[in-house]
Amino acid sequence: MFTVKVPATTANMGPGFDCIGMSLDLYNTITIEEIPQGLEIIIKNPQDIEIPTDETNLIYQTIVQFYQSIGKTVPGIRLVQEDHIPCTRGLGSSAACIAAGLLIANKLAGTNYSKEKLAKLGAIMEGHPDNIVPAFLGGMVTAVLDKDELHYIKIPLPSQLSFALLVPDFPLSTEKARQVIPKSLSLEDGIYNASRTALLVASMMSGEIQHLQVAMEDRFHQPYRIPLVPHMEDIFEKALSLGAKGVFLSGAGPTLIAVIEEEMNFKKKITPFLQQLPRRWDIKIVKPSQQGAQIQEFH
């Protein structure tokens, strides 16, 4: 018996579409036990989105896919799944399931693949590396999947930064959020995003966080997703007026994230504004998760 702990992740961080992500100090925990045969899945912390307890469970599907790739048969498994990452909210819940499945399968099968190799397998499964790589490796990561090769660099983060997760009471599927993005963009928009992506990385690495508001602006996806997230622009404007260093849509949304400094008392300041909105918004202040996914064995 052992436990796998996988962090939430945020992707894009404004202009870094499909290439920049960061792990967050918010986790799903899965306890695994081999059983004589079959599959048992127990959900300890149910959410408003029903999580499958049969072979369609994403963690189990990932385990099966891994075993097929190495030509072995999946053993009987009992999974106890305790999820604290909100589903369909743009916080990497799918990537966390894939990362968990790969870690579990790697452990059970005794293949001893490195985290880097598992991250590459996960990026190929997801089709983009921005959630799965920080889920495995922790911290903020810029990553490129070039054919079947994964190239990544961890970006040091200024220690005084925290991240305010503004999580609404409605879901938004990644598929729906991707459908609204145009298939082609102008050269002007390409330059706009490339320059801000470079500024974002440089701002984090240098600690010059006064540039983050501009560095987190975007023309690739956020403007097209505004209609899918009611009051997104209002919340951005309010967060910046309260001293947030930058704001962005987390992944495909609908969660919004404000970059803050620890002593700002941001939650207390923005809560009355959020309470006036028609939908409920929960706020959670977190730090980055520096370690990424972990295995804990029981002896």
Euclidean distance between CA atoms 45 and 36, whole angstroms: 26
Confidence at residue 287, expressed as pLDDT on a 0 to 100 scale: 96
Query: Looking at the structure, do residues 124 and 166 belong to the same domain, yes or no?
Result: no
Query: Looking at the structure, do residues 183 and 142 belong to the same domain, yes or no?
Result: no
Query: Cα–Cα–Cα angle for 93, 248, 233, nearest 5°?
Result: 120
What is the average pLDDT across 170-190? 93
Query: Looking at the structure, do residues 222 and 131 belong to the same domain, yes or no?
Result: no
Give residue-wise pLDDT tens across range 116-166: 999 999 999 988 899 999 999 999 999 999 988 999 999 999 999 999 999
In percent, the amount of the chain with pLDDT more than 70 equals 99
Q: Are 129 and 89 in contact (CB under 8 A)?
A: no
Task: Look up the domain containing 207 and give its range.
Answer: 161-286
24 pLDDT more than 60: yes
246 pLDDT band, cuts 50/70/90, is very high
Confidence at residue 85, expressed as pLDDT on a 0 to 100 scale: 93
Confidence at residue 299, expressed as pLDDT on a 0 to 100 scale: 57
Give the least confident one: 42-56, 122-136, 182-196.
Answer: 42-56
Query: Looking at the structure, do residues 120 and 228 belong to the same domain, yes or no?
Result: no
What is the average pLDDT across 11-33? 96
Give residue-wise pLDDT tens across range 55-88: 999 999 999 999 999 999 999 999 999 999 998 8
Q: Is the peptide bond before 86 cis (omega within 30 degrees of 0)?
A: no
Query: Looking at the structure, do residues 135 and 72 belong to the same domain, yes or no?
Result: yes
Q: Tell me the H-state helices in 139-179.
A: 174-179
Query: Looking at the structure, do residues 232 and 125 belong to the same domain, yes or no?
Result: no
Query: Looking at the structure, do residues 194 and 214 belong to the same domain, yes or no?
Result: yes
Query: Looking at the structure, do residues 129 and 263 belong to the same domain, yes or no?
Result: no
We report the CATH number of the domain holding residue 262 as 3.30.70.890
In percent, the amount of the chain with pLDDT more than 90 equals 89
What is the average pLDDT across 184-204? 97
We report the CATH number of the domain holding residue 22 as 3.30.230.10
Domain count, the chain: 2
Euclidean distance between CA atoms 166 and 186, whole angstroms: 31
Whole-number mean pLDDT of the chain?
A: 94
239 pLDDT band, cuts 50/70/90, is very high
Query: Looking at the structure, do residues 171 and 140 belong to the same domain, yes or no?
Result: no
Give residue-wise pLDDT tens across range 255-291: 999 999 977 899 999 999 999 999 999 999 999 998 8
Query: Looking at the structure, do residues 26 and 128 belong to the same domain, yes or no?
Result: yes
93-109 vs 58-69: helix crossing angle, rounded to 10: 40
Helix, strand, coil percentages for the chain (3-state, nearest 5) = 35, 30, 35
Query: Looking at the structure, do residues 257 and 270 belong to the same domain, yes or no?
Result: yes
Query: Looking at the structure, do residues 11 and 114 belong to the same domain, yes or no?
Result: yes
Confidence at residue 50, expressed as pLDDT on a 0 to 100 scale: 84
Confidence at residue 34, expressed as pLDDT on a 0 to 100 scale: 93
